[in-house]
Amino acid sequence: MNIDLLAQPAEEVAPKLLGSVLTCQTPEGTVRIAVTETEAYSGTDDPASHAYRGRTARNAVMFGPAGHLYVYRSHGLHWCANVVTGTDGTASAVLIRAGRVIEGEDLARGRRGDRVETPRLARGPGNFCQALGVTAEHNGADLLRGTSVVLSEGEPVPAALIQAGPRVGVSKAHDWHHRFYLAGDPTVSAYRLSPRAKPSARA
DNA sequence: AAAAAGATCCTCT
DNA sequence: GAGGATCTTTTTG
């Protein structure tokens, strides 16, 4: 993966990450997942971003150089992974929301549970991380030069399949169309308006 | 120190 | 498709 591609604003990088591949190697084995859904989050200008109110211990990685992995805990027990974008010193990242398992399906299924249907193995940010094997210990990992988690280019996706829409689960700025996904792909998570989204916003 | 909110997930109707 | 569980991080008094 080219570093210059990632060193751009998150909303420009997000659609370009569709089709790219994340690989995670653990003692258990290797899992590779092709990305089918992303969401862009920027910094102080984005009310829904973790970095909106400045730097904290949790979001520090977002302020660093592009090409690193930002992992955070959501709702107590789920891990969510972002690819850090932009320039060093500014905060922006792309949340990886869903993907299709292309290697290590048995291992991914073992982590997710035997009753999970194949398209759902990496459907949703928390499920994506669980299937891939990403946890807090991967926070800050170098995706371009590291060995545990690697971001690489996959097969190009037709531009006609790329669609944009409102972000999932956010209560602020949910009318920003910063979510990108492959049209008709069964691994893409369903859109759901946040229960706390303000009615004044426009879609 | 205490309270609220949250970039979610699973189950059931 | 809708409803509720769950506990960490952040924010506020």
- Cβ pair A17, A2 in contact under 8 A: no
Mean pLDDT to the nearest integer, A89-116: 97
Query: Which of the nucleotides lies closest to A192 (Cα–C1')?
Result: C1
Query: Which of the nucleotides lies closest to A55 (Cα–C1')?
Result: C10
Distance A5 CA to B13 C1' (A): 46
Query: Which of the nucleotides lies closest to A53 (Cα–C1')?
Result: C10
Mean pLDDT to the nearest integer, A159-188: 94
**Which band of pLDDT confidence, cut at 50, 70 and 90, is reported for residue A146?**
very high
Mean pLDDT to the nearest integer, A167-190: 93
Mean pLDDT to the nearest integer, A141-149: 96
Whether CB of A152 is under 7 Å from strand C: the answer is no
- Chain C nucleotides near the protein (CB, 7 A): 1, 5-11
Distance A138 CA to C13 C1' (A): 36
- For every residue of A167-184, DSSP letters joined together read PSS-SSSTTS--EEEETT
β-pairing verdict for A69-74 and A29-41: unpaired
- Chain B nucleotides near the protein (CB, 7 A): 5-11
Q: Which residue is nearest to nucleotide B8 (CA to C1')?
A: A75
Please name each of the domains of chain A with its CATH number: 3-182 (3.10.300.10)
**Model pLDDT for residues A53-67, shown as the tens digit of each residue:** 999 999 999 999 999
- Cβ pair A84, A72 in contact under 8 A: no
**Residues 6+ positions from A106 with CB-CB distance below 8 Å:** none
**Model pLDDT for residues A7-51, shown as the tens digit of each residue:** 999 999 999 999 999 999 999 999 999 999 999 999 989 999 999
**Which band of pLDDT confidence, cut at 50, 70 and 90, is reported for residue A202?**
very low
